[in-house]
Structure 1
């Protein structure tokens, strides 16, 4: 799942630094994520993972790090989808 999130971040160009330089807990806002970038990121995450992030979950903290996004996706995705993502390196 985190690998897929990194690909999304790289593809959407939301950051000022290379995503390969970031750890799972590094601050994405410090890496250049803007509010518009967070919206693009959210839309792409919803598309790729086939989920809708609930309005009450949308916050600055959600987009703070790759780990925070992965944690929320872990809550949103059914168990079988999480297992498939792990097997396929998502």
Structure 2
């Protein structure tokens, strides 16, 4: 199971979000908090490494990485598709 704290820990390793990672609410826009396109690629790679997954193309959207909730739902969906 993917938790919000798992996501916050990974966000803490992102240069732009590290100072505020623990204060970000579930539905706060990460892009409004400083995440840029380079940071979103770093985030994607960190998530793939942490959860042992590879995001299919249909999940590589701005929306998939826009909030903690969206990331949690996206990672959970990918994990479910791998388990099926």
- Tell me if both proteins adopt one fold, taking TM over 0.5 as the criterion: yes
What's the Cα RMSD here?
1.9
Aligned residue pairs total 80
Report the counterpart of residue 56 of structure 1 in structure 2.
Answer: 58
CA distance in 2, matches of 1:7, 1:43: 14
* Counterpart selection for 1:73 from 75, 80, 83: 75
Q: How does 1:2-81 map to 2 (within 5 A)?
A: 2-15=4-17, 17-78=19-80
Per-residue Cα deviation, 1:27-71 (whole angstroms, up to 9, x for no partner): 000000000000000000000000111111111101110100100
Which portions of structure 1, spanning 4 or more consecutive aligned residues, are displaced by more than 3 angstroms?
A: none
TM-score, normalised on structure 2?
A: 0.85
TM-score, normalised on structure 1?
A: 0.80
C-alpha contact 1:14 1:41 (8 A) present in aligned 2:
no
Structure 1: runs of 5 or more not aligned = 82-90
